[in-house]
Amino acid sequence: MLASLTSHRPDRRPSGGPHDGDDAGGAADAVRRWAAHVAGGALAELPFALAFWDGSSMPASAAVPAAEPPTIRVHRAALGHVLHEPNQLGLTRAFVSGALELDGSIEALLALRGRFDGLKLSPAELASAAVLAVRLGGIDALRPPRIPDSEVRQRGRLHSLLRDRAAVRHHYDVSNAFYRDVLGPTLVYSCAYFASPDESLEAAQERKLERICRKLRLSRGERLLDIGCGWGSLVLHAAARHGVQAIGITLSPEQAALARERVREAGLSDRVEIRIADYRELGDEPFDKIASIGMYEHVGASQLDAYAATIGRLLRPGGLALNHGISRLASTPAGPKSLIQRYVFPDGEVQPVADVIGALQRAGLETRDLESMREHYALTLRRWLANLDAARDAVRAEIGVERERVWQLYMTGSALAFEDGDITIYQVLAAKLGGAHRLALVRGDLA
């Protein structure tokens, strides 16, 4: 059962504040009256409960069917966050900092997000919300609140080499121990490929790596480039199982250090090289095959043609390239004040798959195969969330409470988005024109 609304210890109510004595029902009554007069009353009946710092509360609307509606506990510090950023960023800051706490599951709360689609407050309604925040929070609400340490705001020219390095390192140079806890022993940070919904994550990741190698028709002695190699799982698999000479590149020193250690431990130093490099920094050294797994999301729409052109330049005629990346379906691009941009993947962008295919075609690459893996990514995220939950104490000790909360929000929201069809993921296999690709007439060997 959810914790009782009265079971928590409310924040100490400051004396002499401007809200003292305003409402017999405390903060809850003031919020309830305000909600009745904005957005056509859409906020008057909420599908979750609110418990305020002064002990007052607003129950979830009885008109909303829910066996156990979640309860959001609102501390006074949340007012300053929402007053200064009345948007997703303000709510994210409040949650990450602990000014908003949740009794119940994050998933139960995020599953209700569709009820607020299209809801937008007018400037006058936003002004009335600001007045209410000052009434309830006093002078403290007017002061800019402390921004959580885990938030990043990028500087410099968008998608410059320096800015992209900083963006990647914000996300990946967190802690290799943390990523091992969440991703499991395969250390693969991309969508797995499940034979059945109850299959283990490790088996599904091994199947995904092998499927990529089969799609690329890897042969002994071929040169493989992995753009965004992470902790080296694909190049290790390709070298050990298919006998290729592999180069993996990453912008993360933490990833590179562990990837190199794994290469040494596997006895593959003569076949695998890990470099800290941007894809734009690679020389003209033709590869037989190129893989880019979960990396293009960092490229950005403005650089998509340059990215595809680089793949085309580095690939020999007839060579194969596989791009594995998230695409938008029903969702809109994440704004600059979103959870994703400020806390998870700064400067990250996902494009419709048609844009990816178009960029590859303009670079002289013919699309030969396209596979959607949307359901597989939802299953993958569920496994990662289970790992995070099982290792929560260790994760918080390793990366801090703020980042652990960020990951709970990010992965839960992403799982729901894949399940609902807001976003999806595709593997696009392309061949460079000008040479024989030697692909089979049928794709039965991929089963």
pLDDT of residue 63: 66
Long-range interactions of 227-230: CB distance < 8 A, separation 24+: 227/279, 227/290, 227/291, 227/292, 227/295, 227/311, 228/279, 228/292, 228/293, 228/294, 228/295, 228/298, 229/255, 229/259, 229/274, 230/172, 230/187, 230/188, 230/189, 230/190, 230/255, 230/259, 230/293, 230/294
Token output for 415: 């799982």
pTM score, whole prediction: 0.91
- DSSP secondary structure string for all residues of 206-265: HHHHHHHHHHTT--TT-EEEEES-TTSHHHHHHHHHH--EEEEEES-HHHHHHHHHHHHH
Task: Check: CB of residue 241 under 8 Å from CB of residue 266.
Answer: no
The angle subtended at Cα 167 by Cα 162 and Cα 169, nearest 5°, is: 95
Task: Check: CB of residue 155 under 8 Å from CB of residue 93.
Answer: no
Phi/psi for 245 (5° steps) reads: -95, 120
What are the extents of the domains in the chain? 26-142, 161-446
CATH homologous superfamily of 161-446: Vaccinia Virus protein VP39 (3.40.50.150)
The conformation of residue 446, written as its DSSP 8-state character, comes to: G
pLDDT of residue 19: 38
pLDDT of residue 345: 96
pLDDT of residue 200: 98
pLDDT of residue 3: 27
Q: What is the mean pLDDT of each run of 10 residues along the chain (447 residues)?
A: 28 37 71 94 91 95 72 96 94 97 93 86 93 91 94 94 96 96 98 97 98 97 98 98 98 97 98 97 92 96 97 97 95 91 96 97 98 98 98 97 97 97 97 93 74
Task: Check: CB of residue 246 under 8 Å from CB of residue 226.
Answer: yes
